């Protein structure tokens, strides 16, 4: 087991320049910055249209110090395959290929290409940053927008369907590594990327990304909101290594503590959930409690 990275041991080299176009307090900017530290200098990136395209910079200026191929919305993972195939044909085996895509670009339009690349066993890291909506086009619902969230095209009733469980879909591809992360826990993200780098085939990351304009909170509370999602047991941090599921980091600690913050606190911290009624919240709380009861039971059995 690798030693846990601390703030003091986190590399200081930066791969993103200041002065990007990302919104004030953007959660993606935090995850991206730390994620790139883990991926390292010897990396080629693939990015589809998304907030990250904007953060990345407008021609002729790039904010990222790594080579990056901007591709069409549905083609992210296939493009990673093309880079990998070329590097292989050039005998360059030491370059990491990493795709960063939004939740819409992953769970909806890019799912086919991602599934194809995962099934082919193409050796790259795919990082889905999940701000739970099509933010770049003005906050519309995506496959991973949670139940009850108001978006630009679920304006009054909120989203009526559940969030799509993309990590589970990816785990069903028999990947060597699937992990969930959060921008509020950047060191956990860093360690997970380092851990999976040498594993074979495609590696999938699902990163929860607090987004002030999309979620409706004051930018200064971004980390708090992200942390609440985890501490309420609403969004779990885990990894699935060769099929073995394991809660990690803050979520693992919650099992020890046997105590969750009421999910209501997470919902009430953001305006997008303002139409959720007390009954609906109670309902969701019950689902969370049932999920965690299973985690506790599994823990007791071990």
Partner 1 sequence: MHIIEDGNAAAALGVKLCRANVIAAYPITPQTPLTEKLSEYVELGEMKAEYIPVESEHSAMAVCIAASSTGARAFTATSANGLLYMHEQIQWAAGARLPIVMCVVNRAVGAPWNVWNDQQDSISQRDTGWIQMYCADHQQIIDSVIKAFWLAEKVSIPIMVCYDGYLLSHTFMPFDLPDQEKVDAFLPPFKPEYALNPDEPASLNTVTLPDVRIDVHGELAHGYMEIRYLLQEELRTSLAVAAAAEKRFAEIFGRGGDPYIEPYRCDDADYVAVGLGSLTYQLRVSVDALRKEDIKVGVMGIRFYRPFPDEAIANALKGKKGVIVFEKALSYGYEGALASDLKSALYEHLAGTGHLPLVQNFIAGIGGREIRTDDLTQTLRAATQSRIAKEPTWIGLKL
Partner 2 sequence: MGTRNYRRKTSHSEHGPGDGGRTGSWRVERPILDKSLCIPCKRNKEACFICWLFCPDIVISRTIPPKIDLEYCKGCGICAEECPTKAITMVDEAEFSKEDKE
Ligand X SMILES: Cc1ncc(C[n+]2csc(CCOP(=O)(O)OP(=O)(O)O)c2C)c(N)n1
Residues near partner 1, by CB under 8 A: 41-44, 46, 53-54, 56-62, 64-72, 74-75, 77-83, 85-90, 95, 112-113, 115-116, 119-120
Exposure string for 38-71, b = 16+ CB within 10 A, e = fewer: bbbeebbbbbbbbbbbbbbbeeeeebbebebbeb
- Residues in Cβ contact with 12 at an 8 Å cutoff, skipping those fewer than 6 apart: none
- 163 touches 146 (CB < 8 A): yes
By CB under 8 A, the residues from 171 to 230 that bind partner 2 are 186-187, 212, 218-224
- Residues in Cβ contact with 142 at an 8 Å cutoff, skipping those fewer than 6 apart: 102, 103, 104, 107, 108, 132, 133, 134
- Name the token pair of 269: 């911290």
Alpha-carbon distance of 49 to 8, in angstroms, equals 34
Compute the least distance from the CB of residue 142 to ligand X, in Å.
5
Which 8-state DSSP code applies to residue 105? I
From residue 182 to residue 221, the character string flagging contacts with ligand SF4 as x (rule: CB under 6 A) and all else as - is: ---------------------------x-xxxx-------
Which does residue 41 bind out of ligand SF4, partner 1, ligand X, none, counting CB within 5 to 8 angstroms by kind?
partner 1
Where helices occur in 145-268 by DSSP H, the ranges are 166-171, 186-196, 212-215, 222-231, 249-257, 263-268
By CB under 5 A, the residues from 114 to 143 that bind Mg ion are 131, 135
Q: Which is nearer to partner 1, 80 or 175 (CB)?
A: 80
**Interface with ligand X (CB under 6 A), residue from 26, 76, 103, 276:** 103
Which does residue 30 bind out of partner 2, partner 1, ligand SF4, none, counting CB within 5 to 8 angstroms by kind?
partner 2
- Name the token pair of 296: 């506790």
Compute the least distance from the CB of residue 35 to Mg ion, in Å.
16
Instruction: Give the residue among 20, 83, 82, 87 at the shortest CA–CA distance from 52.
Output: 20
Q: Which is nearer to ligand SF4, 136 or 176 (CB)?
A: 136
Q: Is 47 in the site for ligand SF4 (CB under 6 A)?
A: no
Which 8-state DSSP code applies to residue 278? H
Q: Is 46 in the site for partner 2 (CB under 8 A)?
A: no
Would you tell me which residues interact with ligand SF4 (CB under 6 A)?
22-23, 26, 28, 51, 131, 135, 209, 211-214
Would you tell me which residues interact with ligand X (CB under 6 A)?
49-51, 73, 102-105, 131, 133-137, 142
Would you tell me which residues interact with Mg ion (CB under 5 A)?
102-104, 131, 135
């Amino acid at each position: 087991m690798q030693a846990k990275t601390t703030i003091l041991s986190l590399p200081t080299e930066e791969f993103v320049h200041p002065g990007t176009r990302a919104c004030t307090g953007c959660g993606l900017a935090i995850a991206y910055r730390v994620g790139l530290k883990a991926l390292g200098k010897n990396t080629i990136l693939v990015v589809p249209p998304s907030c990250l395209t904007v953060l990345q910079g407008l021609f002729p200026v790039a904010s990222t110090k790594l080579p990056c191929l901007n591709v069409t919305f549905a083609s992210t993972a296939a493009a990673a395959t093309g880079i990998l195939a070329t590097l292989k044909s050039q005998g360059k085996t030491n370059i990491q290929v990493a795709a960063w895509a939004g939740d819409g670009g992953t769970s909806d339009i890019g799912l086919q290409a991602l599934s194809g690349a995962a099934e082919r066993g193409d050796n790259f890291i795919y990082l889905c940053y999940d701000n739970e909506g099509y933010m770049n086009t003005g906050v519309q619902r995506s496959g991973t927008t949670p139940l009850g969230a108001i978006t630009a095209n679920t304006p009054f009733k909120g989203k009526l369907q559940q969030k799509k469980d993309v990590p589970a879909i990816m785990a069903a591809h028999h990947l060597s590594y699937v992990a969930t992360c959060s921008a509020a826990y950047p060191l956990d993200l860093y360690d997970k990327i380092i851990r999976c780098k040498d594993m074979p085939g495609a590696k999938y990351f699902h990163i929860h990304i607090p987004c002030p304009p999309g979620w409706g909170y004051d930018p200064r509370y971004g980390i708090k909101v992200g942390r609440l999602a985890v501490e309420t047991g609403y969004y779990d941090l885990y990894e699935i290594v060769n099929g073995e599921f394991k809660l990690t980091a803050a979520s693992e600690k919650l099992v020890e503590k046997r105590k969750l913050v009421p999910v209501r606190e997470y919902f009430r911290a953001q305006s997008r959930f303002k139409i959720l009624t007390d009954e609906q919240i109670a309902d969701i709380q019950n689902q969370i409690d049932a999920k965690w009861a299973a985690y506790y039971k599994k823990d007791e059995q071990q």
